[in-house]
Amino acid sequence: MKKALEAVLSDLAGIRTGRASPALVEKIEVDAYGGKYTIQELAAITVPEPRLLIIAPWDKSTLPAIEKAILKSPLGLTPTNDGNVIKLPFPPLSEDRRKDILKVVAKRIEEGRVAIRNIRRSTNEELEKLEKSGEASEDDVFRAKERVQKLTDKYIELLNEAQKAKEKEILES
């Protein structure tokens, strides 16, 4: 359940809010040196202003490849290359775009809830198998199922809090 929560939180970090965040670009794959590398493996990413990312590659020869990867990404941003670094300005979000992003956030949160509920279901099935095979008593299984439900509730509440925080961030920016 913890891994499911972490995966959703990682996903949410990559959702654009109008504020610059290195998480938006660090996982973008770049074709360089005959292989695929993420931007974070090829460059330092800094946020000098709330609406600007600076990507400074360690090897200047990768600048065009990084720029091309950003253009191909679903971010919809246009990088500027000055020969040393790539500047990535973030324009303010329109109201329609904010609504679209809120829908994506809600969808990702729901996917996380489903993943957590699936973990609960499979855990409960395992507990029932233990009971049927005689490896666990009915009382032990009942108590374990209660603990599983409490964990499920806890992680779903953490997802709900993450959703509220992300929505607030999107609507404020």
Report whether CATH 1.10.132.20 matches the domain 95-172.
Answer: yes
Pick the CATH number of 19-89 from 3.60.15.10, 3.30.1360.40, 3.40.50.720, 1.10.3720.10: 3.30.1360.40
∠ at Cα 66 (44, 51), nearest 5°?
A: 60
Per-domain boundaries in the chain: 19-89, 95-172
Q: Is 95-172 the same fold as 19-89? A: no
> Average pLDDT by consecutive 10-residue portion of the chain (173 residues)?
89 72 84 91 90 91 92 83 89 78 88 95 95 92 95 96 89 73
Model pLDDT, residue 109 = 94
Model pLDDT, residue 78 = 86
In this prediction the pTM is 0.63
**40, 59 contact by CB (below 8 A):** no
Instruction: Give the integer Cα–Cα distance in Å for 64 and 32.
Output: 10
